[in-house]
Every structure is written in structure tokens, then in C-alpha cells.
């Protein structure tokens, strides 16, 4: 089966068009103000209007309060809520039940010990997202262009669909997929000229690198 792509941190129409035309399966809209990729619900609604119904709209939140999620959902028809903070499994389940949306939980990996956290999330999520742990002192919990040791996922299988993230670029994504057998790959920094500035050609290159895998 073809490997899917998620392009995260879309914040301008050119990037949205490039992702749609290149065949992304998911696009991510960031609702976390400290991020250079953050969009308001109104900006996100304008971007979402350019997306075909077949494209999954993913809203990225970090330890969100219900009010923020409700405000975004009033304006943007999100398909998936990505939780990229320290949300415990109970909170993930609560958000899923309250919103009726699919939920994806990001799990930071650095060493084999970090895999233990996955078990508690599997029953309450629709997707797992494996990302690198944020470096010490990082301002963001993700979107830091940092890859983890992909061999941690070698030979592993999960009960839920999952995505691979963390420092993926057009140059390294094929190697990452071959090692991990990831069914979907997620990138933000790897298709940017600088934090928050997507490069449409890099988006095309990233999705192009998945062809034939």
C-alpha cells in the first residue's frame, strides 16, 4: 500500500495548494500560539476551504482547554485532533468523547524505555504519532526538526494506525520508511525554508520521495 504523507504547519495558500496537488493524505493546522506555524481559527477556515473533502484536516493542539477546541471546531471542520502535549490517556479519551472527532496522540521517543508509554494510549486513540522527544530547553514540544533513532520501531507493530514524525525531509524520508515500515509520514520543518515558511517545492519533493516505496 502507498505510504501516506501528512504535511503539518500549513499556514499559507501556496503550501496548501502544493500539498493538495502533490497528493498529501493529511494536512496539519497548528493551534498553539507559541509556534511560528500557528494559525487563528479564521485563517485555518480559509485554508481548509481550499482542501478537497478527501484530504484529512488535522488540528494540532498542545494541552488544550475545551474552550480552544470548541472555538476551532466551530470554524474549521477538523477530521482529526492531534494532541502534542502532556495529555494523559484520560484526557485524550475525554477529548475524543466530547468532540466526536478522531484523535491522534503524539508520543516522544528517545530511548527504548519511552516505548512503554504507548500501551496506555492505544485503547483511547484513533492514531498514534511517534515523534522525537523535544530537546532540552526547546520552546516547542514538536516541530523541532529533530529525528529519533528509527531502529526503536524496527519489527514493531501496533494495534492502531500510526504515523512517523520528527526531522523527516525529502532526503531522509525513504530511509525512515524502509526501516520502520511507517504507513504514514509527517513533516513540518523538513519542507520549510525557515521555521514557519513552507516551501512548495520541498512539499512536492517530500511526497515524491514516497513514490514506489
Q: Which residues lie below 8 Å from residue 140, measured CB to CB, with a gap of 6+?
A: 32, 34, 35, 134
Alpha helices per DSSP H over the chain: 13-22, 41-48, 66-75, 89-99, 118-121, 173-180, 200-208
Residue 59 interacting with ligand LGQLAAA5 (CB under 6 A) = no
Return the range that interacts with ligand LGQLAAA5 (CB under 6 A); candidates 71-79, 90-98, 135-143, 174-182: 135-143
- Residue in 70, 113, 131, 184 annotated catalytic: 131
Is residue 10 near ligand LGQLAAA5 by the rule CB under 6 A?
A: no
Contact flag: residue 84 with ligand LGQLAAA5 (CB under 6 A):
yes
Q: Considering only residues 27, 57, 62, 185, which one is a binding residue for ligand LGQLAAA5 as defined by CB under 6 A?
A: 62
- Is 184 one of the catalytic residues? no
Binding-site string for ligand LGQLAAA5 from residue 136 to residue 165, where x marks contact by CB under 6 A and - marks none? ----xxxxxxx------------------x
Long-range contacts of 47-52 (CB under 8 A, 24+ apart): 47/10, 47/11, 47/12, 47/13, 47/16, 48/76, 48/77, 50/13, 50/16, 50/17, 50/20, 51/16, 51/20, 51/27, 52/20
Q: Which member of 3, 19, 186, 207 binds ligand LGQLAAA5 (CB under 6 A)?
A: 186
Catalytic residue among 8, 12, 66, 193: 8
**Which positions are annotated as active-site residues?**
8, 131
Amino acid at each position: 500500500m502507498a505510504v501516506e504523507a501528512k504535511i503539518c504547519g500549513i499556514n499559507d495558500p501556496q503550501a496548501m495548494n502544493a500539498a493538495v496537488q502533490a497528493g498529501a493524505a493529511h494536512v496539519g493546522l497548528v493551534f498553539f500560539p507559541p509556534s511560528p506555524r500557528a494559525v487563528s481559527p479564521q485563517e485555518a477556515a480559509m485554508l481548509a476551504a481550499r482542501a478537497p473533502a478527501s484530504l484529512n484536516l488535522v488540528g494540532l493542539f498542545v494541552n488544550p482547554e475545551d474552550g480552544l477546541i470548541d472555538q476551532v471546531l466551530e470554524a474549521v471542520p477538523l477530521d482529526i485532533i492531534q494532541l502534542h502535549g502532556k495529555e494523559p490517556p484520560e484526557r485524550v479519551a475525554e477529548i475524543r468523547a466530547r468532540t466526536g472527532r478522531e484523535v491522534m496522540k503524539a508520543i516522544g521517543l528517545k530511548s527504548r524505555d519511552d516505548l512503554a508509554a504507548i500501551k496506555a494510549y492505544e485503547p483511547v486513540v484513533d492514531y498514534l504519532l511517534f515523534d522525537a522527544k523535544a530537546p532540552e530547553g526547546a520552546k516547542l514540544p514538536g516541530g523541532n526538526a529533530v529525528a529519533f533513532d528509527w531502529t526503536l520501531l524496527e519489527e514493531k507493530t501496533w494495534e492502531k494506525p500510526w504515523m512517523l514524525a520528527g526531522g523527516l525531509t525529502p532526503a531522509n524520508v525513504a530511509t525512515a520508511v524502509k526501516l520502520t515500515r511507517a504507513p504514514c509520514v509527517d513533516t513540518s520543518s523538513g519542507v520549510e525554508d525557515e521555521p514557519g515558511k513552507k516551501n512548495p517545492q520541498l512539499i512536492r519533493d517530500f511526497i515524491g520521495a514516497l513514490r514506489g516505496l
